[in-house]
Amino acid sequence: MAESDALGNTGRRDFLLKVTTAVSGVGVAAACLPFVASMNPSSDVLAKATTEFDLSGMNPGDMRTVAWQGKPIFILRRSQEQIREMEASNGGLDPEPDRQRVKQPEWLVVSGVCTHMGCVPNREGSGWLCHCHGSQFDDSGRVLRGPAPNNLEVPPYHFVAGNKIIIGQA
């Protein structure tokens, strides 16, 4: 318990000290808000962070490559047969169920950057072949043959009304 001085003002002094500390803390926080807000990405930066693509022109079996943040993204509209085949296996060198790699079985969305040394694989047969060193990926983007160690990455994306996809936001 605090001791009083000769005039009995200790309690009052402690109270004033606490109030001053609290008020100055709020003031510092308020002063920092504009700086914190200025660190958020601007709307034009956010726009570049995402890529919108209209899926309506794609038929089963079609693939398109779109650019997102300077990287190729493969969008594959899979046929029912392709979906059945991919759901029946867990891939190869980096096993992963197909259902964990897609939001809708009909649409596969994966990075077009080989996980070995970053070449862009070509669509060949039922999957992709990276001609740099021979890695092979299936219709789920899973690596079947190395030297690539991992499956093609799945970027963040979501579907929006009007048969469109937004890449860059989950």
Verify binding: residue 154, ligand FES, rule CB under 6 A: no
Q: Which is nearer to ligand FES, 130 or 165 (CB)?
A: 130
What ranges make up the beta strands (E) of the chain?
A: 51-54, 63-68, 71-77, 107-111, 122-123, 128-129, 136-137, 143-145, 157-160, 164-167
**Tokens linked to 56:** 């309506």
Verify binding: residue 152, ligand FES, rule CB under 6 A: no
- Which residue out of 116, 131, 133, 158 is catalytically annotated? 133
The single residue among 116, 152, 154, 165 that binds ligand FES, judged by CB under 6 A, is 116
Verify binding: residue 149, ligand FES, rule CB under 6 A: no
37-72 exposure pattern, b = at least 16 Cβ within 10 A, e = fewer? eeeeeeeeeeeeeebebebeebeeeeeeebebeebe
Choose the binding region for ligand FES from 23-31, 42-50, 78-86, 109-117 (rule: CB under 6 A).
109-117
Angle formed at CA 91 by CA 65 and CA 118, multiple of 5 degrees: 45
Q: Which helix (H) or strand (E) holds 35?
A: helix 10-38
Verify binding: residue 148, ligand FES, rule CB under 6 A: yes
The single residue among 97, 105, 147, 155 that binds ligand FES, judged by CB under 6 A, is 147
Q: Where in 57-76 is the site for ligand FES (CB under 6 A)?
A: none
Interface with ligand FES by CB under 6 A: which residues?
114, 116-119, 130, 132-135, 147-148
Residues that are catalytic: 133
